[in-house]
Homo-oligomer: A and B are copies of this chain.
Amino acid sequence: MKADSNPCALPASKRESGDDRRIAVAKAARQIIVEKGLEGLRTRDIAARVGINIATLHYHVPTKEALVALVAESIRDDFRVQAMRHPRVGKTGLEQLYMEFDDFREATREMPEVIIILTELVERARRDATVAEIVLPMHRFWRSRFEDIFRLGIADGSFRPDLDPEAGAMITTGALSDSWRRPDTSPSMIEQALAELERAFIRKS
C-alpha cells in the first residue's frame, strides 16, 4: 500500500468512498497547480499523488474539464469558509474595514496557495464558461462586501462623503489581489498598502 497521506478515518480499507476520493483528488490537483500551474496539471500526476490508477481517477472525475471545475468548487468552498468566519453585525464602517483587512492578512498567511490557484482559474475563466461561472462570482462577492462597508462607513462618518463605494471596492480588491498575486511582494509592503488604503478612504477630521 502506497503513501497514505491522509492518516484519518479508515486507513485499513483499500477502498475509499467516492466523496473522499474526490476530495483527495481536488487536494492533489491543487498542490500540483501551485507547483506547475494549470498548464502543468496532468491527470497522471494527480492519480500518482492520490495513490490510485488513472482509470480510477477517471471513474471519479470523468474528464479533465470536470477536474478543473472540481478544483474551482474546492477553492470556492475555502473562500466561503474564510468569508463567513467573523460576523460583522453592529460594527462601524471603519471597524468592518479593519476586520476585512485582518481577514486578508489571515488569508495571505494561512492559505497563500489559494490566490495562486484562483489567479490561474480567473485566467482560464476567459475561455472556460464552466470555470467562469464558479470563479467570477467569488470576486464579485468580495468586491460587494467592500462596497457595503464603504456605503455604511460613508453613512456613519467613517469615510469620505465623496467616496464612490463601487470604485473604492474595485480599487481595494484590485490592489489587494494584485499585491497578493505578485511574487515580489513582501508582507511589510502589504501592510504599507493596507495603511495607505485606510488613509485614502477615511474621513479627515
The oligomer's copy count stands at 2
Chain A 186-201 residues near chain B, CB threshold 8 A: 189, 192-193, 195-197, 199-201
User: B170–A174 contact, CB under 8 A?
Assistant: no
Which one, B140, B168, B173, contacts A178 given CB within 8 A?
A: B173
User: B123–A119 contact, CB under 8 A?
Assistant: yes
Given contacts A36-B127, A123-B119, A193 and B167 within 8 Å (CB-CB)? yes
A83 within 8 A of B: no
User: A168–B183 contact, CB under 8 A?
Assistant: no
Which one, B119, B122, B140, B170, contacts A192 given CB within 8 A?
A: B170
Residues of chain B within 8 A (CB-CB) of A171 are 171, 175, 193, 196-197, 200
Give the distance in Å from the alpha carbon of A160 to the alpha carbon of B193 in the complex: 15
Which one, B164, B196, B204, contacts A163 given CB within 8 A?
A: B196
User: B196–A167 contact, CB under 8 A?
Assistant: yes
Give the distance in Å from the alpha carbon of A175 to the alpha carbon of B185 in the complex: 15
Given contacts A173-B178, A179-B170, A162 and B199 within 8 Å (CB-CB)? yes
Give the distance in Å from the alpha carbon of A124 to the alpha carbon of B39 in the complex: 9
Give the distance in Å from the alpha carbon of A136 to the alpha carbon of B184 in the complex: 9
Give the distance in Å from the alpha carbon of A168 to the alpha carbon of B179 in the complex: 12
Which one, B37, B192, B204, contacts A123 given CB within 8 A?
A: B37
Residue in chain B with minimal CB distance to A120: B123
User: A178–B174 contact, CB under 8 A?
Assistant: yes
A144 within 8 A of B: no
Q: Return 21 A-B CB contacts under 8 Å, by A number.
A: A37-B123, A37-B127, A39-B39, A39-B124, A40-B127, A120-B123, A122-B182, A140-B184, A163-B199, A164-B199, A166-B189, A167-B189, A167-B192, A170-B175, A170-B192, A171-B171, A171-B175, A171-B200, A174-B176, A174-B193, A177-B178
The 10 closest A-B pairs by CB, nearest first: A174-B178, A167-B196, A200-B200, A174-B175, A167-B192, A171-B175, A39-B39, A178-B178, A167-B193, A175-B175
